[in-house]
Amino acid sequence: MLRRQRGISLIWVAVLMAGMAALAMAAIFSMRYERNLFAEGLARLTGKTPPAATVQGGGAAAAVAAAAPSAPGNQLRRCVINGKTVFSDTECSAANATTQNVIVHETKGVEAPKAPKPDPAAAAPQDLRAKMIENAAR
Protein backbone atom coordinates (compact mmCIF):
# COMPACT_ATOMS: atom_id res chain seq x y z
CA MET A 1 0.00 0.00 0.00
CA LEU A 2 1.13 3.52 -0.80
CA ARG A 3 0.65 6.17 1.82
CA ARG A 4 0.21 9.80 0.78
CA GLN A 5 2.30 12.49 2.39
CA ARG A 6 0.38 14.98 4.44
CA GLY A 7 0.90 18.74 4.19
CA ILE A 8 1.58 20.98 1.22
CA SER A 9 2.93 19.48 -1.98
CA LEU A 10 6.24 20.32 -3.61
CA ILE A 11 4.40 22.28 -6.33
CA TRP A 12 2.81 24.58 -3.75
CA VAL A 13 6.19 25.09 -2.08
CA ALA A 14 7.67 26.12 -5.46
CA VAL A 15 4.77 28.53 -6.12
CA LEU A 16 5.12 30.05 -2.63
CA MET A 17 8.90 30.50 -3.03
CA ALA A 18 8.44 32.10 -6.48
CA GLY A 19 5.95 34.56 -4.99
CA MET A 20 8.31 35.44 -2.14
CA ALA A 21 11.16 35.91 -4.63
CA ALA A 22 8.99 38.22 -6.74
CA LEU A 23 8.15 40.32 -3.67
CA ALA A 24 11.84 40.52 -2.72
CA MET A 25 12.79 41.56 -6.27
CA ALA A 26 10.11 44.27 -6.23
CA ALA A 27 11.43 45.54 -2.88
CA ILE A 28 15.01 45.67 -4.18
CA PHE A 29 13.86 47.40 -7.38
CA SER A 30 11.94 49.93 -5.25
CA MET A 31 15.03 50.67 -3.18
CA ARG A 32 17.32 51.00 -6.20
CA TYR A 33 15.14 53.44 -8.15
CA GLU A 34 13.76 55.31 -5.11
CA ARG A 35 10.19 54.27 -5.88
CA ASN A 36 7.67 52.45 -3.75
CA LEU A 37 6.15 49.85 -6.04
CA PHE A 38 3.96 48.48 -3.25
CA ALA A 39 2.32 51.87 -2.64
CA GLU A 40 1.95 52.45 -6.39
CA GLY A 41 0.32 49.02 -6.82
CA LEU A 42 -2.04 49.63 -3.92
CA ALA A 43 -2.91 53.05 -5.33
CA ARG A 44 -3.75 51.49 -8.69
CA LEU A 45 -5.95 48.89 -7.05
CA THR A 46 -7.82 51.43 -4.93
CA GLY A 47 -7.86 54.18 -7.59
CA LYS A 48 -6.11 56.74 -5.38
CA THR A 49 -3.06 58.79 -6.24
CA PRO A 50 0.24 57.34 -4.94
CA PRO A 51 1.80 59.04 -1.91
CA ALA A 52 4.65 61.47 -2.49
CA ALA A 53 8.20 60.16 -2.14
CA THR A 54 10.12 61.80 0.66
CA VAL A 55 13.79 61.88 1.60
CA GLN A 56 14.33 59.93 4.80
CA GLY A 57 17.22 59.16 7.10
CA GLY A 58 20.91 59.34 6.26
CA GLY A 59 22.55 58.64 2.94
CA ALA A 60 23.93 60.66 0.08
CA ALA A 61 20.51 61.57 -1.30
CA ALA A 62 19.38 62.94 2.05
CA ALA A 63 22.56 64.98 2.44
CA VAL A 64 22.30 66.48 -1.05
CA ALA A 65 18.58 67.13 -0.94
CA ALA A 66 18.53 69.03 2.33
CA ALA A 67 15.64 71.46 2.34
CA ALA A 68 16.61 75.11 2.13
CA PRO A 69 14.51 78.24 2.08
CA SER A 70 13.07 79.22 -1.26
CA ALA A 71 15.51 81.07 -3.46
CA PRO A 72 14.54 82.90 -6.62
CA GLY A 73 16.32 82.32 -9.91
CA ASN A 74 18.08 79.19 -11.03
CA GLN A 75 17.81 77.14 -7.83
CA LEU A 76 18.36 73.41 -8.30
CA ARG A 77 15.35 71.47 -7.03
CA ARG A 78 14.53 67.80 -6.47
CA CYS A 79 11.07 66.41 -7.14
CA VAL A 80 9.22 63.26 -8.18
CA ILE A 81 7.62 63.31 -11.63
CA ASN A 82 5.75 60.23 -12.88
CA GLY A 83 7.33 58.13 -10.13
CA LYS A 84 10.91 59.11 -10.99
CA THR A 85 13.19 61.39 -8.99
CA VAL A 86 14.25 64.42 -11.05
CA PHE A 87 16.88 67.09 -10.31
CA SER A 88 16.01 70.21 -12.30
CA ASP A 89 15.64 73.97 -12.09
CA THR A 90 12.77 74.12 -14.57
CA GLU A 91 10.69 70.91 -14.34
CA CYS A 92 10.30 70.97 -10.55
CA SER A 93 7.76 73.72 -9.99
CA ALA A 94 6.47 75.07 -6.71
CA ALA A 95 3.08 73.47 -7.46
CA ASN A 96 4.60 69.96 -7.15
CA ALA A 97 4.23 68.77 -3.56
CA THR A 98 7.49 66.76 -3.66
CA THR A 99 9.69 69.73 -4.68
CA GLN A 100 12.66 70.36 -2.40
CA ASN A 101 15.51 72.84 -2.87
CA VAL A 102 18.95 71.24 -3.19
CA ILE A 103 22.13 72.69 -1.74
CA VAL A 104 25.02 71.86 -4.07
CA HIS A 105 28.39 71.22 -2.44
CA GLU A 106 31.28 71.45 -4.88
CA THR A 107 34.06 68.96 -4.21
CA LYS A 108 37.32 68.07 -5.91
CA GLY A 109 36.31 64.46 -6.28
CA VAL A 110 38.89 61.69 -6.25
CA GLU A 111 42.42 62.77 -7.05
CA ALA A 112 44.86 60.26 -8.50
CA PRO A 113 47.95 59.56 -6.41
CA LYS A 114 51.03 61.43 -7.55
CA ALA A 115 53.93 59.40 -8.95
CA PRO A 116 57.05 59.44 -6.80
CA LYS A 117 59.98 61.49 -8.06
CA PRO A 118 62.82 59.43 -9.53
CA ASP A 119 65.88 58.95 -7.34
CA PRO A 120 68.71 61.15 -8.71
CA ALA A 121 71.36 58.59 -7.66
CA ALA A 122 69.69 55.86 -9.73
CA ALA A 123 69.37 58.14 -12.77
CA ALA A 124 73.06 59.20 -12.82
CA PRO A 125 74.59 55.91 -14.07
CA GLN A 126 72.01 55.77 -16.87
CA ASP A 127 73.02 59.25 -18.01
CA LEU A 128 76.70 58.34 -17.84
CA ARG A 129 76.09 55.18 -19.83
CA ALA A 130 74.14 57.16 -22.47
CA LYS A 131 77.00 59.70 -22.75
CA MET A 132 79.57 56.92 -23.18
CA ILE A 133 77.49 55.32 -25.96
CA GLU A 134 77.15 58.68 -27.73
CA ASN A 135 80.95 59.27 -27.53
CA ALA A 136 81.66 55.78 -28.92
CA ALA A 137 79.17 56.26 -31.76
CA ARG A 138 80.87 59.48 -32.98
Q: Which residues form the domain of 99?
A: 10-108
User: Is residue 116 assigned to a domain?
Assistant: no
Strand order from edge to edge, sheet including 77-81: 84-88, 77-81, 100-101
Three-state DSSP at 80 gives strand
Rounded to 5°, the CA angle 21-84-80 comes to 130
User: Residue 22: which pLDDT band, with cuts at 50, 70 and 90?
Assistant: very high
d(CA 29, CA 21): 12
User: Is residue 120 assigned to a domain?
Assistant: no
User: Is residue 131 assigned to a domain?
Assistant: no
User: Is residue 91 assigned to a domain?
Assistant: yes
User: Is residue 5 assigned to a domain?
Assistant: no
**Could you tell me which residue, 67 or 43, shows the higher pLDDT?**
43
Q: How many domains does the chain have?
A: 1
Whether the model pTM is above 0.85: no
Compute the chain's Rg from CA coordinates: 31
Looking at residue 80, its pLDDT comes to 87
Residue 123 CB: number of other CB atoms within 10 A?
10
